[in-house]
Structure 1
Amino acid sequence: MQKVKQENISPEEHRIRQAFKDRDWNEIKIADSWAIFKVMAEFVTGFEKLGKIGPCVSIFGSARTKPDNPYYKMAEEIAAKLVRHGYGVITGGGPGIMEAGNKGAFEQGGKSVGLNIHLPFEQFHNVYIDPDKIITFDYFFVRKVMFVKYAQGFIVMPGGMGTLDELFEAITLIQTQKIGRFPIVLVGRDYWQGLMDWIEQVMLGREKNISEEDLKLINIVDTPTDAVKVIDDFYSKYLLQPNF
């Protein structure tokens, strides 16, 4: 009897084929029900660990940034200044800019939170996170909720697709008034100005897809001092101060 030749397909192709595969109700119920419980478990863990964390600022940026990169040094200094000004620091928990943010907070004795994610490459938690404040997620959307829910401001360093995703998540939630109008600070004018020019000239100017008021949600700075000043000025304007 001739054996049927097994196809040698990649994991990516397998996932694509699975998306088109018909499933019966029992398969759907079992798979999706367990997914719901996993999502709930991640939310519960996040809420329990972060619920009493106090005022924090989320720092976003690339996992690929090396310690000798000027932006790594800037992220470390920003985090240290934030801690000295009474804030904790939340990062994605991995290497690069995330490590720099946690390092700056940790070395100043401040709260250092890491919201890690399971990835097939490049992501592992750094050593500068408080042991009781490491959370590892399977679902990006749950992780993004934690970034936003427990932050009173956002510092965005140069990064890739994940950083852009986190940036626009924060902007969208503020624009649609789902969260408060917390400050968003882009660090590195040379890196971000092209994006901001496109937003202003095309998204606003040509297509009218946003309003001029939306541009006021974003600040661009070039130094750690100016980045932290945006956060401080925002809270002094509202007569609010960190509570630790």
Structure 2
Amino acid sequence: MGNSRPPKKKLCPAWSINDILHSLTKPPYEPIHDSRLPDLTKKTLFLIAASSARRRSCLHALTTKPGHIRFEAHGVRLIPDIDFVPKNQTLDFIPGDLFLPEITTISSEREDRKWCPVRSLKWYLKRTKHLRHSERLFVLPRHPYSAASKDTISKWLVQMIMPFTHDQPVRAHDIRGQATSKALFAGVPLSDIMKAAAWKTPSTFVSCYLTDTLRAEAAFGRAVLTGSACRPPRM
């Protein structure tokens, strides 16, 4: 006998990642040199979360230990702490490093730099260099500037999303689905999306995160950021 009450599938979070990205180009997040540390922290976290589509556990495991943040020619490579064991790691599947491209690799518009995760990260590292009392990348933006917990990272992401949800429930995990969906429909190969989001099989993505559509071009992180440059925020 079939299930008379099949589970409802949530196809699309009740918010647009583009709206949030556009908000990051305005006060209190910009001008970035005038932003308060709490706002700079949230902006940097959100841009990294949206560009990489990694789980909060991976974001929490990012570290400032020597060799774990590598600025390269066209972006930055982030290597989680060696003690971090991803939830979806198996003997034959180990999620890779995070590589975030600079927005300048896809756009020459000066305004587009405001949602560049590499630019935001550089500012964040500079502002916290002499304050932090932890090697975790994300620290509390107040004394004693200790490591932010996984729950705090989730709280910050939810706080970023809430103004754009129209009173609908929201989870920090929704960012993962929004970002990967945009990249998929932007023409990025599914294998590249799965590598960026550290998912094991296409079915994981198709069954859980087939949500929004957007026209853009380039690799995963570029697709998400380019989409914001191409589409104005909803009024």
The two structures share one fold, judged by TM-score above 0.5: no
Identify the structure with the greater strand proportion. 1
The one of the two structures with greater contact order (alpha-carbon pairs below 8 A, sep at least 6) is 2
TM-score, scaled relative to structure 1: 0.34
Identify the structure with the greater helix proportion. 1
